[in-house]
Chain A
Amino acid sequence: MRELTDFRPFLRTASTFWRHNVLPESERIILVEAMSQDLRVTLRNLTVANALRRMEPARVIVYSGADEDWNQIVWTYFNLEEISQMATAYGAETVFDVHALVDARVAGTAEPLEVAGVDLGGDLPDSGISAESFEEIVYATACRMALVARLDDSPELQAKKAHVAARSAEFAKIYDALLANNDVVALITSHVDYNNFGLGVEAALRHDVPVLFPQSTGGLKVYGLFPEKLPAGAPIRAGLTSQLGEFFDKHLWPNRELLHRSSELTQWRAKATLGRPSWWRAGADFSSVELQTPADRAAVRVPAGRRVGLDPSKPTVAVFNHAVSDALGTNWEVFADLGDWIEQTAAWAAEHDEVNWMFLDHPHQHMYDATGFFDGVAARYTDQPHMKFMRSLDLSKNYLTALTDLVLTVRGSVSSEYPALGIPALQCGWSEWSACGFTTVAGSVEEYFTELQRHVDGLLAGEELITPEQVERARLWMWFYRCASDVPSGLVQQWPVGEGDELFEILAVNMLHVESDGEPAFAAVHRMWRRREAFLSRFDWEVPPELLAMQLGVVAS
C-alpha cells in the first residue's frame, strides 16, 4: 500500500506541463484505459496518449473503475479518485467509471451519462463483435474471475459465466458506441485480455483503430496493434508475434556482430537478476544464476538432484506450469487450455521414465487458481518416482538451471531465459519471441508429442538440441526485450522506482526543469506511430549500421 503526500503539487505541475506540450484539442478522441490500481500503469497509458497528442490533436477520454470480482481477486487499494485526478491533470476531458456504468446497465438502473457525445446510460445498439469472439472473451474472463483452469457445468461456475456474459455484453455495447460515434485516434490500454480490457481492444481493432499497449514493467515499453498489420481471424497477440519475428530477422540478426557485446552484457546482467528482473521471481539471492561452466552445473546438480529426489545422471525435463486462468486464448495455443496441456504432458511423462520429470507450479498460482489444480494433477502420479511436482519457487534458479535439460512451456518466459543458457525449449503456443528462431514451436498436439519424443531421444543420445546460433538468437532477444524495446523516459521512470512520493517528485523535477523536446518517450512514440511499428524502440532501426552504432553509443574503438 502506498501513501502519497506529494500528489497534489505533482498534479498541478503535470497539468501545466501537458498544457504546453500537446496540440490543442480537436473533435477526435483518444480512449485511455485506467483500470489498474497501480498509478504507474495509468501514468504510462496517459503519457503515451499525450505523446500521441503531440502529433494527433485529440481529446482524451479515460475509462476507469473496478468491479467486485477484480476487487476480490486482484486489487487491494484501487482508488478511483486518485486516478481521476491524475487523468484530469494529464488533460483528460472525461473520466468515467465504466465498471459502475456496466453494473448499472445490467441492473437496468443506468442514468444518462454523456461521454464523447454519446449517452452511455441510454439505449445502445448491440456490439458488432462476432459471437465466437464474444464467447472466447467471456469464457476467459469467467475462468479468471472464478480462478479455475476451465469451466465445467457446475451451477456455481455457470452462474459466474452468466454474470460475466451479462456484464460483457454491456462492456461491448459501451466500447462499440464510443468507437462508432467518434473519430478515434487510438485506444491506449495496459492489458488486452478479459472483458473489461479485451472487449475495448476487440472493438477498436474492428473499427480500424490502432491499439497501443504499454507494459507494466521496465521504463516505457509499448506494443502497437495496428489493424492493417494484423492477420484476420487470429488471436490478438498473434500479429505481434509475427511482426516481432520479422523485425528480428530484418534488423537484429543482421546486426548481431554490432550487438554481440551488448547482448552478452545483458545476458550477464540477467543472470545476476539485474535490469528488468524475471517477471515472477524477485530476489537476487534466489533468482540469480551463478553457474558459469558445465563443471559448476555438475557440482550443483548433485545436491539439487538429492533435494528434489531425482537421479542427476538422467536427463531432466522441466515442465513449467502456467497460471492456469491467465489470459486464455489471446495467442495461438495447440491445447484446449493451459490445464489440458499440463495434464496431457503429465500423462505422457508417466510413460517415459527414461528421463526425470520436474513439474513446477507457477509462483503466483494462488492468484489464478482456487481449485488446487496442480496438486490434483500431482496426486495422480505419486507412485511415479521419476516425476516430481513442486512450486518453482521451491528451487532457486541455480538449482533449476543445474537440473533442467529441456524446458516445456506453452508460452512462458522460461522459453526465452533457458535457451540463452544453451538449454533447449519446446513451446506449444506462441509468445512474443516464438518467431525469433531459438525455440521449437509445435503447431499441433500431435506435433508437440512428436517433438517431445524427438527431444527426449536426443537428450538420451547426447545430441545438441539447440545450436550455438539459437543461443545467440536467444541472447539477442534478451537484449532486445530489456534494452531496445525499453525506452528510458524522464516522464515515466523505471518500474522499480515505485508509485510513491519518490516517483512523483522525480516526475515533477523532469517536468519543471527539463526541456521536453527530444524526450525519449516523445521521439519513440513518434517513430512508432508514424511507421506503424509493432513496438516502441529506444533506437531508430531504419538507419545504416554506422548510425545505429552511434545511437547505441557502442563500446568500440
Chain B
Amino acid sequence: MSGVFELPSLHLGTSFDRPARRHELPVYLDQDVPGAVALIDGAVRAPHRLARVVRPSGMLGLSLVRPAGPITVHLDIRIDGLSNEMWHDNMLGSRAKMARSDDKDREVPLPDVSGRHRLLRFTAQGRTIAGAALGLRRYDGEATVEQVSFQVTPDELGDDGMLMIGMESSRADEQEWPTGAAMPDGVVGIAVVRAHLRLGSEPIAPRVAVGRHDDQGALVLGQSGILVVNPGMPDTGTEIEVGVRGVGGDRLRGRRARVKHPGRAVRELAQDRVVDKSHGIGIAVRTLDGADVPGADVDGARLRLPAGTGPVMVRLTKQSPSGEPALVDWSVRSRALP
C-alpha cells in the first residue's frame, strides 16, 4: 500500500498460519461463509452473526480479490438484547472493577444507561463513511437493524485487496447537547449481521440511520431527538424533512403497534392529533466530531446539506406554543438533492 512505511525485517507469519481467503465479488459474507473475516480486532467472529464488537472500537478486515473498479458495500448492523447485555457486562463491569482497584473499599455505583442511544461511526480504510444513532429500548422488539452503505475505490483497497471496516463510538453529542447524550462506548455489543459487496458504483441514497423506519420515513424518539444522516453520492446534496409524529414516550410504533389491540392504534392516533405539528421545531446539526457543518441550511422543518457533506448528526427539538420544551417523536424523510 502506498504511503505506508514498510519494515523490512517484518516476520509476522508462522508456519501454522492459514492464508486469508480472498473473496470474489459479488459476495454476501455472513457467519456461514468460511473465512469470511480475514482480520478482526476488538470484535469476535460470532456464532450467529458475521461479527460482534466487544471493545470500544472494532475492526473487520475483509480480504477481496482486487476489483477492477469501485465497489459498493452494504453492511447490516443490528442491536439486540445481547448487545445491551454485553455492553452492560463488559463496560459497566470492567469500569466498576477498575474503580474498585483504585480504591478497594469504595463500591462505585454506575448508572444503567443501556436504554440510551448509541452514536456510532463507521470507517473504511480509516475514512469515515457512515454513522448511526441506534438503540434498543424496552418496546423496540427483539432488535433494531440498520443498513450502512458506502463505496470504495480500488486505489483505497490496495494490491492486497484488504477492506478494513472500522466501528467506533462517538460521544460528540455530549459536547454539543449534553442532555440525553449517547451512551459511552456504544459500539460494544453491536452485531454486524452480514456484508454485501458488489462491483460497481450503484447509486446510494441518503439515509437517516436510526434503526427504525416505516412508511413515514425514519422514526426518531423524542428522548434524544438525535439522528444521523448518511450522505448519498458524493456529488449530490441531501435534504431531510422532519415531522412531528406524536407525543413522545415508550408506546409501540410501526407495524407492531397496528397488530396489537386495535384500540391502541386509535388512541395513539388521537394523541397525535392533539400535538401541534408546526410550531417551535428546532434543527441543529454537527459532524460526528461535534464540529460545525459548513453549508448546512436549516429552513423550518427542513435541513439541506451540500454535496460531499456527511455523515452528520442532527438534533431535533420541539417547543410548545407557550415556549416550553415538548417531548415528541419524529418522522424524518430524506432525499438526494439534484
**Once the chains bind, are B13 and A293 in contact (CB under 8 Å)?**
yes
**Once the chains bind, are A293 and B55 in contact (CB under 8 Å)?**
no
Interfacial chain A residues near B229, Cβ < 8 Å: none
How many Å lie between the Cα of A341 and that of B55 in the bound state? 32
Closest Cβ of chain B to A428, distance in Å, is 21
**Once the chains bind, are A295 and B101 in contact (CB under 8 Å)?**
no
User: Chain A contact residues (Cβ within 8 angstroms of B): what range?
Assistant: 35 or more
**Once the chains bind, are B42 and A285 in contact (CB under 8 Å)?**
yes
How many Å lie between the Cα of A268 and that of B158 in the bound state? 26
**Once the chains bind, are A314 and B5 in contact (CB under 8 Å)?**
yes
- Assess whether B126 is interfacial by the CB under 8 Å rule: yes
**Once the chains bind, are B17 and A292 in contact (CB under 8 Å)?**
yes
Interfacial chain A residues near B98, Cβ < 8 Å: 366
- Assess whether A76 is interfacial by the CB under 8 Å rule: yes
Which listed residue, A286, A315, A422, touches B10 by the CB 8 Å rule? A422
Interfacial chain A residues near B102, Cβ < 8 Å: 366
How many Å lie between the Cα of A302 and that of B164 in the bound state? 9
Which listed residue, A298, A314, A366, touches B1 by the CB 8 Å rule? A298
How many Å lie between the Cα of A399 and that of B9 in the bound state? 18
- Assess whether B40 is interfacial by the CB under 8 Å rule: yes
User: Chain B contact residues (Cβ within 8 angstroms of A): what range?
Assistant: 35 or more
How many Å lie between the Cα of A420 and that of B200 in the bound state? 41
Closest Cβ of chain B to A293, distance in Å, is 6
Interfacial chain A residues near B41, Cβ < 8 Å: 285-286, 290, 300, 396, 398-399
Residues of B within 8 A of A (CB): 1, 3-17, 19-20, 38-44, 54-55, 57, 59, 61, 98, 101-102, 104, 123, 125-126, 158-160, 162, 164, 166
How many Å lie between the Cα of A247 and that of B250 in the bound state? 69
Closest Cβ of chain A to B121, distance in Å, is 12
**Once the chains bind, are A268 and B14 in contact (CB under 8 Å)?**
yes
Which residue, of A286, A302, A401, has the highest number of chain B Cβ atoms within 10 A? A302
**Once the chains bind, are B166 and A303 in contact (CB under 8 Å)?**
yes
Given A313-B5, A396-B41, verify A297-B15 contact (CB < 8 Å). Answer: no
Closest to B52 in A: A285
Given A293-B13, A422-B12, verify A316-B5 contact (CB < 8 Å). Answer: yes
**Once the chains bind, are B16 and A423 in contact (CB under 8 Å)?**
no
Does more than half of chain B's interface fall in helix, strand or loop, or is it mixed?
loop
**Once the chains bind, are B15 and A422 in contact (CB under 8 Å)?**
no
- Assess whether A104 is interfacial by the CB under 8 Å rule: no
Closest Cβ of chain A to B156, distance in Å, is 9
Supplied contacts A303-B126, A423-B7, 4 more A-B pairs, CB within 8 Å: A264-B14, A300-B39, A303-B164, A316-B5
- Assess whether A261 is interfacial by the CB under 8 Å rule: yes
Which listed residue, A283, A313, A399, touches B3 by the CB 8 Å rule? A313
Which listed residue, B6, B11, B20, touches A471 by the CB 8 Å rule? B11
How many Å lie between the Cα of A296 and that of B164 in the bound state? 10
How many Å lie between the Cα of A294 and that of B11 in the bound state? 8
**Once the chains bind, are B126 and A302 in contact (CB under 8 Å)?**
yes
- Assess whether A463 is interfacial by the CB under 8 Å rule: yes
Interface string of A270-296 (1 = CB under 8 A from B): 010000000000010110011111111
How many Å lie between the Cα of A362 and that of B162 in the bound state? 31
**Once the chains bind, are A315 and B5 in contact (CB under 8 Å)?**
yes
Which listed residue, B5, B42, B159, touches A295 by the CB 8 Å rule? B159
Interfacial chain A residues near B54, Cβ < 8 Å: 285
Closest Cβ of chain A to B23, distance in Å, is 15
How many Å lie between the Cα of A422 and that of B6 in the bound state? 12
Which residue, of A290, A401, A422, has the highest number of chain B Cβ atoms within 10 A? A290
**Once the chains bind, are A296 and B12 in contact (CB under 8 Å)?**
yes
Closest to B14 in A: A268
Q: 28 A-B Cβ contacts within 8 A?
A: A261-B15, A264-B15, A268-B14, A268-B16, A283-B55, A285-B55, A286-B42, A289-B12, A290-B41, A291-B39, A292-B12, A292-B20, A294-B7, A295-B1, A296-B12, A296-B160, A296-B162, A299-B125, A299-B162, A301-B4, A302-B3, A313-B3, A314-B5, A367-B101, A401-B12, A422-B7, A422-B10, A465-B9
